[in-house]
Amino acid sequence: MQALKDLVNVAERAAERAANLIRGARPPGAGEWTEKTRHDFATQVDREAEELIAETLTDLVPGSEVVGEELSPDAQRRAQVVWLVDPLDGTTNYLHGYPQYAVSIAAVVSGVLSVGIVHDVTRDVSYRAVRRQGAWSGGQRLAVSTITEPARALVGTGFPFRHLDQLDTYLRQFAAVTRSASGIRRAGSAALDLADVAAGRFDAFWEQALAPWDVAAGVLLVREAGGLVTTLDGSDDVLGHGSIVAGNSALHKWLIELVKDAEREVQNAE
């Protein structure tokens, strides 16, 4: 099997190729969008980017398997090296010309999340992490925020736009965080949100419903930058479909308790 340093180089190459493709493409008109589910769009650019990524990864790492949002979300994940790929995280932003979208690629090696790349397409900035070797952007090592007071915290989030049945719970969580933190931001790309946590720009982040390809690379960035990432239930296994809470140790504890309390309030009111 290839060394992790080789895998991260392969992932970075694939992400750069996809980012170049996305930057060079013409954003399609509204008539060319495909609505996969309510409020969840895909385009030919997403699909072409994933094809290019999959081709690069499997050519350079023979026998590896790609689990991608657009073309292979139900792959079995039986290979020793499994790639979790979101070719365009933030598609709605891309379609509207809002410059916050990324390519996200992670490698799970023998069942362990081991490599992550998040490539900010519009800024042409790459974030990379290797298990037990840190998280980096260029030559700068990433570190999570040292802020521990919620009143000074800037918190990232994502709205449950595809899961409107969760909206009442989310609004209760949102209100609780608004009362306690200095600010909340929702930019529309979970991969970049997690990169911002890893770089210390966000002090914490939470979202109710995310897929593994949305978060895998960003999760490793945060963990290798010294932060914590769990589900809302506190599990370290975040590579399913579900909630996520991230931050430094102090603010992760604060945020997870706050949003869980808000969730219980909704349940008790029903």
239-254 pLDDT, tens digit each: 988 999 999 999 999 9
What does the pLDDT look like over 66-85, one tens digit per residue? 998 777 777 778 899 999 99
Furthest-apart CA pair in the chain: how many Å? 54
pLDDT of residue 27 exceeding 70: yes
pLDDT tens per residue across span 99-156: 999 999 999 999 999 999 999 999 999 999 999 999 999 999 999 999 999 999 999 9
Judged against a pLDDT cut of 70, whether residue 39 lies above it is answered with no
* 114 or 263, greater pLDDT: 114
The predicted pLDDT at position 77 comes to: 83
Residue 87: is it exposed, middle or buried by C-beta count within 10 angstroms (0-12/13-18/19+)? buried
pLDDT reported for residue 162: 74
pLDDT computed for residue 155 by the predictor: 98
What is the reported pLDDT for 161?
Answer: 74
The pLDDT of residue 38: 55
Question: What is the spatial distance between Cα 107 and Cα 115, in angstroms, rounded to a whole number?
Answer: 5
**For the domain that residue 218 is a member of, what is the CATH number?**
3.40.190.80
Whether residues 46 and 113 fall in one domain: yes
Query: pLDDT tier at 1 (50, 70, 90 boundaries)?
Result: low
Rounded-to-integer distance, Cα 170 and Cα 176, Å: 10
pLDDT value of residue 69: 78
**What b/e string do you get for 229-263 counting C-beta neighbours within 10 Å, with b at 16 or more?**
bbbbeeeeebbeebbbbbbbebbbbbbbebbbebb
- Domain residues for the domain of 227 are 150-269
Q: Is 158 exposed, middle or buried (0-12, 13-18, 19+ CB in 10 A)?
A: buried
Q: How many domains are contained in the chain?
A: 2
Same domain, 61 and 103: yes
Same domain, 92 and 201: no
- Which residues, in sequence order, are bridge partners of residue 41? 35
Q: Strand 154-157 to strand 183-185: parallel, antiparallel, or no bridges (unpaired)? A: parallel
Measured torsion, CA atoms of residues 173, 41, 129, 115, in degrees rounded to the nearest 10: 120
Q: What is the mean pLDDT of residues 166-191?
A: 94
The reply to whether 15 and 103 lie within a common domain is: yes
Mean pLDDT, residues 192-209 taken together: 97
Same domain, yes or no, for 41 and 118? yes
The DSSP secondary-structure symbol of 227 reads: -
Query: Are 80 and 31 contained in the same domain?
Result: yes
Q: Name the β-bridge partners of 42.
A: 34
Whether 225 and 199 have beta carbons less than 8 Å apart is answered as yes
Alpha-carbon distance 269 to 255, whole Å?
Answer: 21
Q: Are residues 119 and 159 in the same domain?
A: no
**Residue 87: CATH number of its domain:** 3.30.540.10
